[in-house]
Amino acid sequence: MVLFGKLRHVVLALLAVLSWSLSASAYSAPKTLLVVGDSLSAEYGIARGAGWVALAEQKLKALDVKVINASVSGETTSGGRSRMPQLLSKHKPDVVVIELGANDGLRGLPVTAAESNLRAMIEAVQKAGAKVLLVGIRVPPNYGRDYSEKFFGMYGTLSKAMGVPLAPFMLESVAAKPELFQPDRLHPLASAHPIILGNIWPYLLPIVKAK
């Protein structure tokens, strides 16, 4: 009986260690963050490593998060929609940041088309079992107030309808400051990207940290 009791304690101890090990392993499992955006996320016109995505990657290292920046300068929501299935299949991300729409707006493309493309991307990400952060953008007022407001409102509509968090306006505290832009007045300087990250970070971090 004494031997049996000792064996029982040993087995229980081993099971406890195994359970803790598996739990710790699951907790520390690295996550993959995929960013699908346009030139605002692709470091257009600035040094590599100076963009908001790279800055986010530095901050996320402590959380063991792998960041993949699949942003392409000039990308539209249509292009993002066509690329999304392959990106999801290849990288199997846990979190996907969708930062698209600026080029649709600059080209004056229909808001309904952009909304449909963004909706399809969100659905694809959710179907793949990943979480989504949608990043909003405004178009210049010279496109007309009605178009500009409908375009900006599209992001809030999608956020509520699809149940995904939204970083409302990535260029908050940047858009109204010409000194923070490159000569084309469309692409922010490297000095603006910490501000951009500051606009996105409060919405991104909770998603990344969630199990």
Which residues are catalytic, by number? 39, 184, 187
- For the chain, the 3-state helix, strand and coil shares in percent, each to the nearest 5, are 55, 10, 30
Radius of gyration (Cα) for the chain, nearest Å?
A: 22
**Can you tell me the distance from the alpha carbon of 55 to that of 57, in angstroms, rounded to the nearest whole number?**
5
Q: Is the dihedral of CA 90, 68, 123, 147 positive or negative?
A: negative
3-state SS track over 95-124: EEEEECCHHHHHCCCCHHHHHHHHHHHHHH
Torsion of CA 169, 172, 177, 181, to 10 degrees: -50
Are 101 and 137 in contact by the 8 Å Cβ rule? The answer is yes
